[in-house]
Structure formats: structure tokens, C-alpha cells
């Protein structure tokens, strides 16, 4: 397993992070002024990330191989809910204001910080998505957005025209 770098909003990156540092970082997300974004990334471009606050987060992973990638979105293991929801993140945003950057998802993709911790610790230990959660492959939405020139750090990956 390659060493992972911890990226936490408003904090310096921490290369070769430990499981203890991941736990502490997730704990800081509970604080009223805490970070709203966390990522564990490897040197090849793969990562696991979560964004949100108030115990409402969206969690994603990306597997990178050669010049390609596959992107995954975590869902609740107990709820199947395709209703549209919007969460918010980013402590600093010149466009939307503090903690107002929209992060659309489906209801089943709204997970809590206990899920963030479980998924990030599993990813830290193995470099893979934990099988305890359903994962939907959403690569095509990133490819479509890239072809349209819409490149963002964390993006809207929920399709706007979906069928239930």
C-alpha cells in the first residue's frame, strides 16, 4: 500500500499520514468551525474523499490506472432513496459564501461522519473501497463534464436527468 497524503480543508497537507491522523482529522470536522472537506490521496491520483458538515456528507473514491480512472459514490447500506437532496460544504467560497457551496446527491448518498471515518480508515488500511457500503460507479458523469470543459475539485456527479 503506497503512503497516503491527508488533505483537510484549511490545514496543511500531511504526507505519509497515519490512521490516528485520519481519526483526528474526522473529529475536527464535528467542530462548528471545522473543515468541510477531507481526502486521502495516493501518488498515482487515486483517492477517497468526503465533503459536507452537520453530519451530512457525500463520500467518493477514485481508482486510477494508467491514463484511465473509475469514480465511485458511496451509499447508505440501509436506505435506498433516490430523492434529490443538496448538502453544502467549503468554509471559504467567493461565489456562494461560507459553507454554502452546493453538493447535490440522492438521499441514499447522505452519510454521517461515522461513515466517513469507517470508509477513510478502511481506505487507509487497504487502498480500496470497503465492501460494507454499496458503491455506484459514476465515472461517466466525470467524463461527460470533462468533455464539456467543466473541471472542479469536487464536482456535481449526480446526473440531472435520471430515471428511477
Give pLDDT tens digits for 86-99: 999 999 989 999 99
Instruction: Note down the domain range covering 103.
Output: 5-147
Three-class DSSP category at 140: helix
Q: How high is the pLDDT of residue 150?
A: 52
Residue (of 19, 52, 35, 44) closest to 118 by Cα position: 19
**Alpha-carbon distance 92 to 96, whole Å?**
9
Residue 133 lies in a domain: yes
Q: How high is the pLDDT of residue 159?
A: 43
Q: How high is the pLDDT of residue 161?
A: 47
**Alpha-carbon distance 75 to 119, whole Å?**
11
Residue 117 lies in a domain: yes
Find the helix or strand (DSSP H, E) in which 89 lies.
strand 84-89
Residue 163 lies in a domain: no
Residue 19 lies in a domain: yes
Residue 152 lies in a domain: no
pTM of the shown model? 0.85
> How many domains does one find in the chain?
1
Residue 120 lies in a domain: yes
Q: How confident is the model at residue 66 (pLDDT cuts 50, 70, 90)?
A: confident
What is the rounded radius of gyration, in angstroms, for the C-alpha atoms of the chain? 15
Residue 61 lies in a domain: yes
Instruction: Write the pLDDT tens digit of every residue in 7-47.
Output: 999 999 999 999 999 999 999 999 999 999 999 999 999 99
Residue 158 lies in a domain: no
Computed over every residue of the chain, the mean pLDDT equals 87
Q: How high is the pLDDT of residue 148?
A: 54
Amino acid at each position: 500500500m503506497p503512503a497516503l497524503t491527508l488533505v483537510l480543508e484549511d490545514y496543511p497537507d500531511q504526507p505519509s499520514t497515519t490512521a490516528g491522523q485520519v481519526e483526528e482529522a474526522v473529529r475536527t470536522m464535528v467542530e462548528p468551525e471545522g473543515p468541510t472537506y477531507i481526502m486521502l490521496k495516493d501518488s498515482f491520483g487515486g483517492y477517497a474523499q468526503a465533503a459536507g458538515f452537520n453530519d451530512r456528507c457525500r463520500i467518493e473514491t477514485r481508482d486510477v490506472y494508467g491514463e484511465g480512472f473509475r469514480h465511485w459514490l458511496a451509499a447508505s447500506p440501509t436506505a435506498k432513496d433516490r430523492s434529490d437532496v443538496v448538502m453544502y460544504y467549503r468554509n471559504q467560497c467567493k461565489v456562494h459564501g461560507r459553507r454554502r457551496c452546493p453538493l447535490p446527491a440522492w438521499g441514499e448518498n447522505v452519510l454521517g461522519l461515522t461513515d466517513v471515518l469507517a470508509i477513510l480508515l478502511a481506505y487507509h488500511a487497504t487502498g480500496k473501497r470497503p465492501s460494507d457500503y454499496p458503491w455506484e460507479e459514476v465515472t461517466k458523469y466525470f467524463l461527460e463534464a470533462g468533455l464539456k470543459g467543466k473541471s472542479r475539485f469536487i464536482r456535481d456527479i449526480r446526473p440531472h436527468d435520471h430515471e428511477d
